[in-house]
């Protein structure tokens, strides 16, 4: 396939581009905008955020959970969000009432277990952090038996009640299986569009940026480290050699960083000692990814994130996380793996059988 090079947003300096050259875009200023804010008069001192650009409807499924609550808070603070629909099977009225008192323009509504259809109505973006988290000693795959059916039933509701062009962002573990479950469920319902289904792997990139910046004394805000593959242990492959700061690593540093990034989730699970897994860092990462999707559907050009999507990047697996440029319709371009070190190449080759098995498990579950 032809490879081109262009400048991408969010610190991914130049990268090989796989797929068609993007069409020219009209300037964002020519796109329809939300009506001007007619809230508090200027004389009232306020720290509320101003409106910017198009504002959208976001539905959070699992909104009362450890991730769901801080994630919903970040959406409530975002000028990209007009309506925030919170759904959970427990405790959602309290979370919705609490968030609704924050003086930002997003309108918060809570939807209890009988109101999933209404929560999904008109959603531009559906984020799914519903399901059980790990306890010490568990793998993400140990969550499959509980979370597969939760995610499948939510995907069935998305197929039925969400707009056909909604973007579906899956946080629930095991991501390597839950994303294929959502894809297959939407396929079965005849509404699957592979450009609109994303596994959220942004926490791996977040950890990679943090740990590399700490080790090398770099500005974390300017640093990018792509992380590819999947979202579980060895299937997480940080491409340290592609960091945009040009940092280099000894073999010992490479091994230590790989281990910490691949098993960062276990570090949090162990520290929480039975009280769950990463929630605050995940809410941050999930919000960053969702903001990127929202910016892209608002017409911003070149927004690029690593995310686990249906992909042909690796010939042996139908889903893979790599750099993806987002556009008006979701996935616009899936970027190839690019040049990697021998260590990274071996890490990719070694983990493919595990990733393949998890993907197949998700597909088989949905087909059964």
| One character per residue 256-295, x = contact with ligand NAD (rule: CB under 6 A) | --------------------xxxx--x-------------
* Cα distance between residue 342 and residue 294, in whole Å: 36
Note whether 231 binds ligand NAD by CB under 6 A.
yes
Query: How crowded is residue 216: how many other Cβ atoms within 10 Å of its Cβ?
Result: 15
Distance CA 102, CA 77 (A): 8
- Out of 161, 231, 314, 335, which one is annotated catalytic? 231
Long-range contacts of 18-25 (CB under 8 A, 24+ apart): 18/313, 18/333, 18/334, 18/335, 18/336, 19/333, 19/334, 20/333, 22/301, 22/325, 22/327, 22/332, 22/333, 25/299, 25/301
Ranked by CB distance to ligand LMR, the top (closest) residue is: 265
Cβ 150 to ligand LMR, closest distance in Å? 15
Judged by CB, which is closer to ligand LMR: 265, or 299?
A: 265
Contact 71, 58 (CB under 8 A): no
269 binds, among ligand LMR, ligand NAD, none (CB under 5 to 8 A by kind): ligand LMR
Distance of CA 220 to the CA centre of its chain: 20
Q: How many residues does the chain have?
A: 368
Give yes or no for residue 173 binding ligand NAD (CB under 6 A): yes
Q: Which does 68 bind (CB under 5 to 8 A by kind): ligand NAD, ligand LMR, none?
A: ligand NAD
* Phi, psi dihedral angles at 285 (to 5 degrees): -65, -40
Backbone angles phi, psi at 103, to 5 degrees: -85, 65
Are the C-beta atoms of residues 152 and 368 closer than 8 Å to each other?
A: no
H helix runs in 221-341, sequence order = 251-262, 264-272, 280-297
Closest distance to ligand NAD from the beta carbon of 6 (Å): 29
Residue nearest to ligand NAD (CB): 65
Tokens standing for residue 17: 């581009």
**Annotation says 231 is catalytic:** yes
In the complex, what is the shortest distance from the CB of residue 69 to ligand LMR, in angstroms, rounded to a whole number?
A: 16
Name the residue nearer to ligand NAD (CB basis): 222 or 270.
Answer: 270
Which does residue 268 touch among ligand NAD, ligand LMR, none (CB within 5 to 8 A, set by kind)? ligand LMR
Figure out which of the listed residues 172, 292, 307, 325 binds ligand NAD, where binding follows CB under 6 A.
Answer: 172
- As beta bridge partners, residue 127 has 60, 169
Q: What is the DSSP letter of 141?
A: G
Q: At what angle do helices 144-161 and 342-367 cross, to 10 degrees?
A: 70
Residue placing its CB nearer to ligand LMR in the complex, 53 or 62? 62
Question: What is the nearest approach in angstroms of ligand NAD to the Cβ of residue 28?
Answer: 30
Phi-psi region of 115 (alpha: psi -120 to 50; beta: other; left: phi over 0): alpha
Closer to ligand NAD by Cβ: residue 55 or 140: 140
User: Site residues (CB under 6 A) for ligand LMR?
Assistant: 133-134, 140, 173, 203, 265, 268-269, 277-278
Site mask for ligand NAD (CB under 6 A), range 66-105, x = bound: xxx------------------xxxx---------------
CB of 144 to ligand LMR, least distance (A): 12
> Which CB, 53 or 62, lies closer to ligand NAD?
62
Smallest distance from ligand NAD to CB 37, Å: 32
Under rule CB under 6 A, which residues in 141-170 are in contact with ligand NAD? 143, 147, 150, 153-154
Distance of CA 48 to the CA centre of its chain: 26
Q: Which of residues 330-359 bind ligand NAD (CB under 6 A)?
A: none
DSSP three-state, residue 247: coil
Which chain residues interact with ligand NAD by CB under 6 A?
A: 61-62, 64-68, 87-90, 129-134, 143, 147, 150, 153-154, 171-173, 175, 200, 203, 231, 276-279, 282
Active site residues: 231
């Amino acid at each position: 396939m032809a490879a081109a090079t262009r400048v991408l947003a969010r610190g991914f300096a130049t990268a090989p581009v796989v797929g068609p050259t993007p069409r020219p875009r009209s300037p964002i200023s020519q796109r329809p905008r939300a009506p001007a804010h007619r809230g508090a008069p200027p004389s009232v001192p306020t720290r509320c955020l101003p409106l910017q650009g198009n504002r959208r409807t976001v539905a959070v499924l699992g909104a009362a959970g450890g991730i769901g609550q801080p994630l919903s808070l970040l959406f409530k603070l975002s000028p990209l969000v007009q309506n925030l629909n919170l759904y959970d099977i427990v405790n959602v009225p309290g979370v919705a009432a609490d968030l609704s008192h924050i003086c930002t323009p997003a309108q918060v509504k809570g939807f209890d277990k009988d109101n999933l259809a209404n929560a999904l109505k008109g959603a531009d973006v559906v984020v799914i952090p519903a399901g059980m988290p790990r306890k010490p000693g568990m793998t993400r795959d140990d969550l499959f038996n509980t979370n597969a059916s939760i995610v499948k039933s939510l995907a069935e509701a998305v197929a039925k009640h969400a707009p056909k062009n909604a973007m579906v962002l899956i946080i629930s573990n095991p991501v390597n299986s839950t994303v294929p479950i959502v894809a297959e469920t939407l396929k079965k319902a005849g509404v699957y569009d592979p450009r609109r289904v994303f596994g959220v792997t942004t926490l791996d990139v977040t950890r990679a940026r943090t740990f590399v910046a700490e080790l090398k004394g770099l500005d974390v805000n300017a640093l990018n480290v792509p992380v590819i593959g999947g979202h579980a242990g060895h299937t997480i492959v940080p491409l340290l050699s592609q960091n945009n700061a040009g940092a280099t690593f000894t073999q010992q540093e490479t091994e230590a960083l790989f281990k910490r990034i691949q098993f960062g989730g276990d570090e949090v699970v162990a520290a929480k000692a039975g009280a769950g897994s990463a929630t605050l860092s995940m809410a941050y990462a999930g919000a960053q990814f969702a903001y990127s999707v929202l910016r892209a559907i608002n017409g911003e050009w070149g927004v690029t994130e690593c995310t686990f999507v249906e992909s042909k990047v690796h010939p042996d697996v139908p889903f893979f996380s790599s750099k993806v440029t987002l556009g008006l319709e979701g996935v616009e371009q899936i970027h190839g793996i690019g040049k990697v070190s021998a260590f990274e190449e071996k890490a990719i080759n070694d983990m493919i059988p595990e990733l393949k098995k998890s993907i197949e498990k998700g597909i088989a579950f949905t087909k059964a």
